[in-house]
Amino acid sequence: MTLSLDHAQTIITAALAKSKEMGYQPMGIAVLDAAGNLKAFASEDGASMFRFDIARAKAWGAVGMGVSSRTLGERAKGNPNFFVSLAATSDGKFLPQTGAVVIKDAQGRLLGAVGASGGTGDEDELICMAGVQAAGLAHG
């Protein structure tokens, strides 16, 4: 199974609906496939120009390391030099900040990641999880 465009669009639609329901600030949401390639992106009206880069970098780090960006942020506290090196090596595409989750199939295989930017890290993460669940996939 691979992450389809329909999956990506469902994830974005549901994540934005959850954001609106919760009254969050305008969001940007990026869905990446297992190779870190952009599958889909949406930016709400009023979202700042940084939303794409931040959402993609959170998701890119998550899919590259196979864990949520929250986990990466926690790991970075104990080994900051390694994570600074990862960010530099990836030309700024790696951001270990809460707000992205990996996307998995029912067997636990990594399909990609989704990252959001616009709210707090917790808010970003919450809408990503809602989007993945709406697509009938698992998150981690």
pLDDT tens-digit readout, 3-43: 999 999 999 999 999 999 999 999 999 999 999 999 999 99
Please state, in angstroms and rounded to a whole number, the distance separating the CA atoms of residues 49 and 68: 24
Is residue 29 within 8 A of residue 127, CB to CB? The reply is yes
Find how far residue 15's CA is from the centre of its chain.
11
Q: Please state, rounded to an integer, the average pLDDT across all residues of the chain.
A: 95
Please state, in angstroms and rounded to a whole number, the distance separating the CA atoms of residues 134 and 140: 15
Domain range enclosing 77: 5-139
Residue 34: what are its φ and ψ, rounded to 5°? -65, -20
What does the pLDDT read at residue 1? Answer: 86
Is residue 39 within 8 A of residue 5, CB to CB? The reply is yes
Please state, in angstroms and rounded to a whole number, the distance separating the CA atoms of residues 10 and 59: 17
Q: What SS3 class is residue 74?
A: helix
pTM confidence score: 0.95
Q: What is the CATH number of the domain that holds 90?
A: 3.30.450.150
pLDDT interval class at 70 (50, 70, 90): very high
Domain count of the fold of the chain: 1
- Which of 137, 90, 122, 116 is closest to 15 using CA atoms? 116
| Range in 34-43, 60-69, 75-84, 110-119 with the lowest mean pLDDT | 75-84
- What is the Cα gyration radius of the chain? 14
Q: Residue 93: pLDDT above 90?
A: no
